[in-house]
Chains A and B, each alone.
Chain A
C-alpha cells in the first residue's frame, strides 16, 4: 500500500536507477582497484595460556599480493607438514606452496568408514589423540568435507606433536558409529584406519620429484582480442561527417555482410591492416562482403589531422567510405556495443573492426588488427545458431550444462547509452532492435525479448522530449507481447492515467490484479487509480476488500476515509479516520484530515469543535509549529470555536511558513484568513472538493 502507481511511476522515477548502484557497477566493470594489492596473512599461534597470535605473513613468505580466494591444505610431499594450495582472481590463479616446517614430530591418519553406519569418507569423524609428556595431552580434530571459502582440503588428518614424548592412543568417534581406540601408534607415520579394524602404516610412493622453488610467470594482459558474440545484437546507428561538414546517417547495405573498421592516418597498425585487406579485396568481393572503413582522425581534441593525407589513403584502399569521417556519436555507439558484450569495460582501441551479417547483426568484434583470412573465416558464423556461436567464442574444449546457448542481450547497449546520458540514442537503438526482432517474433523466446525491449523503450520515452508521445504505444506493444508481465501493466496504467485515459488505466490495473490476486499492493494501486479518476464507489469497494485482508493497514484505511468523504459519507469517514489512528497513532495526516472534518464540515451534527481543537493543538505541538498545513487546521479549529484573534495568528504563522510558490494551498489559507479577520468560521463546500 506504500506507493500508488502514480507516485511510483512518474516518468522521471522510472528512469531513476539507484545512482550509487550505477556508479559502483561501472567502477567494477571499468577496472577500478578496490582493496587491491592486499597481502595474504599468516597468524602464528604463540600457544600461550591466553589466545595470542603473531602476524608472520612476511617472514613466512605467505604474503602474496594476489586477490586470493580459495585455500586448501594437504601434505603433498608426505614430509609431515601441511602444504597449501591457493586460488586467486589475479594471475597466477593457482599456487602450490611447499611448507618447509619439517623436521618436526607428527602423525597423520586417513580414515575409512564401513559405509553402513559411518560414511566411507568418514566425514564428521572426530579424532582424539592422547599424547605422553605434553602440557596439552589431548588434541582433537574433525574431518570436514569443505571448510573455509570455496575449498575442500585433503582428508588426511594431520597432527603436529610439538612437545609430546610419545603417542598414548587414538580415539576415533566415527560418525553414526561407536568410538574406537587404537594404541601402538608411532610418530612420523602415515596410518590408514578402516572402521573397526586396526591401523595400517601407509608408505608414500618413492621417486618423488623434488619440489624446487619457482616463481610462476603470469601472462601479461594483451588487449588485442577476437570476440565472437552471441546472435541477436543489431548494429547501432552510425553517422558520418561529409566533406562539407554536414552529418549523414549510415546504414549497411541490406542483405550484405559488412566489415566495419575504424582507423586513423597516424595509426601504423591500422594502415598495415587496411593494406593487407586491400591485397585480398577479390576474396571479400567473392564472398559478397562490403568493407566500410571510417576514419577517426578528426575526432576528439586533436584537430591537427591532415584531410589530404586521409583522402589519399582513402583512395589507396578504395573501400567504401574509406575517406569518410566517423561522427563522434558513431564512435560512442560502437564503444557501447563492444562494452555490452564484455564484462571488462575498456575503451575501444584503434584499429577496431566489427563484423556484421546481412541482417545488420553483429558476428564478431576485433580489437587490434585482424587479417582478411580471419574475417572471411568468421563470416561462416553468419548463420550459426547460438550454440555454434558459443562454441566459436571459447578458447578451450569442455562441456556445457545446457546444450542450448542464449542470444545476446541488446538492452545492455541501450543501458550503456543511458548511463552516458544518451537517452535518445538508447531509445533509437531499441527501435532498431524492434525492427530486427519483429520479423522473428514467432521464433521461440523472441516474443519475450521483443516485449522486454518495448517495455524498456516505454519506460525511457516519457523522459525524452523527442519520443515522449510514443510511450503508450510501446507499452501497449509490450503488454500484447507479454500479457502476464505485471511491471508492464503498471507502467502502462501510469502512462494512460497521465494522458487522461483513467478508465483504460484502471482496466490495466484490473488485469494486473487478476494476473496476481495474491499481490495486495496491486489492489491498492488499482483503488488509488479509481480514486484519482473520481470513481469513488469502485475505489471504496477495492479498499473494503483490501482492508478485509489487511485490517491493520493504516495508509489504506486513511485512503478509504478520504474516499468516504468524497462519497459524502462523513460519519463513516470519521469512523475510519479514528480506526486509522487507533491502529497507527502516528498517522498525522489522518489526525489532520479528521480534525478538518470535525471543524469545517457544513453539517452541525458532524462538527465537534472541542475535539477538533484538541487534535490540531496536538498536531502543531508534535511538529513544533513548523507545519503550515497543521497550523492552517489549527486556525480553522480556533475560528470554529469563535477564537478569531488566535485563528488569525495561527493562519498568519502558517502563511509565513509556506514556500514562496505555494499555489492553491496557499491561496486557500489566505482566503480563510480573510474570513477569520471578519470573524467568520470556514466551512467546507457541501459537495466534495
Chain B
C-alpha cells in the first residue's frame, strides 16, 4: 500500500514539474552536435548495454518512465503505474495516440513483447530486472498488467529508455532478436527519428514531428559525432563545434582546463546517479594464471587505487572498498571489506603470492599474462600501463592488448579468450540490477555483453543473491549483502578498483539537457539551444 501511494505521489509531482516547464517558451529549432565516444557497435540497446548505444538509443526509443535528478519517476510511455497491495501485480496505464516512427500504433502488445521476448531473453540485465515477471496481460491496447511471482521493487528502477527501451513488436517478431535488422535501423517512439549512420563519422537523428509530447522536441536535429582522437575531441568542444560530451569523451584533464579557460564551457558530475560506474578488472577464473583466488587477492592488494584516481582521472573518483559501490550505503547495503587497500600494499601482495607458493624466477617473474584493456580511450590505456608496472613489482609480468570495440567484446564475452581485462561496469541503482550480473552462475551467458565473463560459479553465493533479490526487509537484506561482500572480498572473481565520477562537459548554449537522472542517456526531448 505504501509503495503504491509513494509511486502515485512521485508521478503526480513529476506531472506538476512538467506542466510548469511548459510555461516558458523555449526556443525551437537548431541542431545539436555532440560527441559519441567510441562509435557504437550497433544500435540494439535491447541486446547490448554498451555505453555509446546509450548516448543515442534513448533519443530514438522511449522507456515506460524516466527518472528526474532526485530519482523520482517521470511518466513517459506509461502515464501512471499502479502497484497492488501485495506488490505482485503492477499495472501500467499506457499513453494513447503514440505511434512508432514508421506510423504503426504503439500498444500494450509491444510492451508485452519487449519485456517477455526481448529484455527477459537477450538483454544483459533484463533477466535480472524482470526475473519475477511471470506473464504480462494486455486487457486492452493501453493497459499492460505485469504478474510477478514475488515483489520486485527494484524493477521499477529499471524502466528508463536506456535500461529497458520499448521496441516495436512488428519489427522483431518471428526473427532472431540478436541479428534482426532493427539493430542498425532503429525504429522507436522517441523524440528523434533515425535518419543516417555514416560509419566512422556520425549518426544523424531528425525531429519526430509526431512525438506524443506536445511541442517536443525543441531541436530539429541531433548529430552524434564519432571522433576517435582525444585531442581533436577536446578541440571540437573548445571551438563550439560540438556542444556536449559525456562519459570521458573529453578527458578529465582537458575538461578541467576548458572549464577554467572558457566562460561558455561548464562541467557537472550530475546525470550519473542511476549509473553508478565502477572501474574493475575481470579475471578468467576457469583457465590461465588467475584461477587461484589468492593471485587475484594479491592483485587487488597491490594496486594503488588513489594514485590511479589522482593521476589518470584527475581526482574524480573514489577508491572501491568492496564488491558494492559506496553509493549503496544509502540503503545500508555497502560494507567496507579487507583486501581493498586504497593506497596499495606491494609488500603485502608479494607476501600473499609467496605464501600461496608462487616463487619468483631469476628475473623476478612469478607468472606471465596478457592484460586486455577496455578500448574506450587513452585514460584506460594509461590505467593499464600503470597496473602493468605494479603487477611487475609483485612478479606478474603482463603484456597489454588494446583492440577495437567489436573485437574486444567478442574476445571477452563470446570467446572467453582472455586472462584479465580492465573494464568498468555500471552498478546502477540497486545491486540486483547492476551487481548480480557479474557473479551469478545464471549470468554466465556466452555472447551476452557485460555479464559474468569470469565464469565464476559459487552455489553459496547464488543462494545469497537469490535471497537478496526477494527479501524486502531492509535489515535482513543488509545482512545478506554483508555475507555476499565477504565471499567476494575473498574470492574476487572481479577486482573492483574505484568508483568513477564521470563528467559532463557542455557548452552553455545548450540548455534543458540536464534534468534527467539518466544524464547523457536521456531523451533530450527538452533540450534547446539558446
A and B: real partners? Answer: no
Q: B: which residues have CB within 8 A of A?
A: none
